[in-house]
């Protein structure tokens, strides 16, 4: 092989290494499913906050629903780098008793690992006790 060809192969390998490194740390579409379960008809709002390891909010979104129309599973596709996140889920819902209906807010935190596939977080048992 000539020196020029070896130099080209080294340059190509270096470029591929940099491309791989950047692709693993750059934001990509993630798929997160939050399971609300049987209490979903009472839910009027869901707020999701993704906290990165340093504690800063990496992504935040809110969903609002008319009473009785929230899905059992809330789907969200944040654009985030792969990695570990603390997911803070805040749910607004109506609680009905024999005397009255009142709006309540419940919050749950879960650790999620996002790596380009799907992650599912079941918050139903924590929210509707």
pTM of this prediction exceeds 0.75: yes
Decide: 85 and 47 in contact? Cβ < 8 Å. Answer: no
Which one, of 76, 68, 80, lies nearest residue 116 by Cα? 80
Task: Specify the DSSP element, H or E, that contains 44.
Answer: strand 43-51
CATH number, domain at 104? 2.60.40
In a domain, 6, yes or no: no
Q: What is the pLDDT of residues 31-90, one digit of tens each?
A: 999 999 998 999 999 999 999 987 889 999 999 999 899 999 999 999 999 999 999 999
Strand pairing partners for 120? 33
Q: What is the pLDDT of residues 35-47, one digit of tens each?
A: 999 989 999 999 9
> For residue 13, what are the contacts with CB-CB under 8 A and spacing of at least 6?
none
Domain count, the chain: 1
In a domain, 2, yes or no: no
In a domain, 1, yes or no: no
Band the pLDDT of 21: cuts 50, 70, 90: low
DSSP assignments along 57-80, one per residue = EEEEEEEE--TT---SEEEE--EE
């Amino acid at each position: 092989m000539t020196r020029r060809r070896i130099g080209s192969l080294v340059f190509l390998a270096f470029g591929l290494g940099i491309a791989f490194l950047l692709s693993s740390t750059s934001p990509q579409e993630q798929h997160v499913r939050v399971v609300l379960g049987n209490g979903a008809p009472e839910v009027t709002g869901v707020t999701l906050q993704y906290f990165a390891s340093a504690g800063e909010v990496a992504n935040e979104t809110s969903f609002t629903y008319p009473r009785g129309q929230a899905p059992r599973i809330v789907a969200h596709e944040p654009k985030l780098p792969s990695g570990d996140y603390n997911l803070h889920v805040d749910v607004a819902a109506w609680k009905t008793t024999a005397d009255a209906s009142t709006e309540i807010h419940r919050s749950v935190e879960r650790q999620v690992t996002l790596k380009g596939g799907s992650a599912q977080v079941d918050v139903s048992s924590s929210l509707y006790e």
